[in-house]
C-alpha cells in the first residue's frame, strides 16, 4: 500500500501497458519454432552410441602433456 501510493498511473503508462499486452498476445509461441522438439529417449541413446562408436567422436582433446 505504501509503495502504491508513491506511483501514479498516467494515460501514457496505461496505453503503454495495453500496447505491451497486445504485443505479447500476438507473438507466436516459442515452442512452435522448434521443428522436431527434443529427442526421445531412444533417439538420445542412438546419438550417444553414434558419438562413442564413430571415429573421432570418442577421442577427447587434452591440453595435458600426457596424451
Contact 47, 39 (CB under 8 A): yes
pLDDT for 60 beyond 90: no
- Closest Cα partner for 39 from 53, 27, 49? 49
Radius of gyration for the alpha carbons in the chain, expressed in angstroms and rounded = 26
Q: What is the mean pLDDT of residues 59-67?
A: 60
pLDDT tens-digit series, residues 23-32: 988 888 777 7
Can you give the length of the chain in residues?
67
pTM of the model as a whole: 0.39
Amino acid at each position: 500500500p505504501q509503495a502504491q501510493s508513491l506511483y501514479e498511473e498516467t494515460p501514457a503508462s496505461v496505453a503503454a501497458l495495453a500496447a505491451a499486452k497486445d504485443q505479447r498476445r500476438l507473438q507466436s509461441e516459442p515452442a512452435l519454432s522448434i521443428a522436431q522438439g527434443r529427442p526421445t529417449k531412444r533417439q538420445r541413446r542412438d546419438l550417444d552410441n553414434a558419438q562413442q562408436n564413430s571415429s573421432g567422436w570418442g577421442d577427447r582433446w587434452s591440453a595435458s602433456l600426457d596424451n
